[in-house]
Amino acid sequence: MSIPDQYADTSTWSYHIDEEYYAALDRTRALFEEDWPEPDATLLHEATAFLSREARLIDQGRFNAWLELFSDDCLYWVPVTAGGGDPRVEVSHAFDDRRRLTDRVYWLRTGLAYSQIPASRTRRLVGNVEALELDPETRLIRSNFVVHEFRAGVTKVYAGWYAHTLVKTEHAWQIKVKRANLLDSEQYHENLTLVF
């Protein structure tokens, strides 16, 4: 397959985030604002276990293992606008496809990231988990979080809610979209290089 010249620079182009992807993101974002029926115990248990494992991997700095939780066509999104907004016209703290997320993980692992010298130590609490099975291949998980960060003698606390879209792959459930909605998302944040 020949790649058009304007798309050859992958630092400015994503091969899967296009208008169709944004439209699907809009539809899913609306679902996260709705009331959901009570999930069955198995679905709720699996959703909670998935979030607990993800939180542990991040807090332990096991970013390669964390990255493996994401699908190839994933999105890691930390919006500035409460509830997500429209990333086509609004700035985000992070809007990373798989390529950018891989760069983020590599950068964090080098130990040379200026804003992570010394590296953040984090502990997070994830709770109020709700789950919705859209179909046998797609699940939505909504939860609240509190992340405690300690770096360079300073402790910070971030609160908000997660919107996870999981897809079933051959071997496991993977994250297609993770949106971390900070409670104070529109405020100035000095250093958001930590992973939410």
Give the Å distances, CA to CA, from 191 to 25, 56, 120, 147, 194: 27, 21, 10, 14, 8
pLDDT tens figures, 123-166: 999 999 999 999 999 999 999 999 999 988 889 999 999 999 99
- Whether the bond into 37 is cis, omega within 30 of 0: no
Please state, rounded to an integer, the average pLDDT across all residues of the chain: 87
Q: What is the pLDDT, as a whole number, of residue 4?
A: 55
Question: Structural domains in the chain?
Answer: 17-182 (3.10.450.50)
pLDDT tens figures, 63-83: 999 999 999 889 999 999 887
Amino acid making up residue 63: F
Residue 60 DSSP code: T
Considering only CA atoms, which of 63, 36, 67 is closest in space to residue 141? 36
Give the Å distances, CA to CA, from 192 to 27, 42, 57, 178: 27, 35, 18, 16
Give this prediction's pTM.
Answer: 0.89
pLDDT tens figures, 92-113: 888 898 888 898 888 777 766 6
Sequence-separated (6 or more) residues with CB below 8 Å from residue 54: 66, 69, 175
Q: What is the pLDDT, as a whole number, of residue 5?
A: 59
- Cα gap 129→138, rounded to integer Å: 16
Q: What is the pLDDT, as a whole number, of residue 1?
A: 46
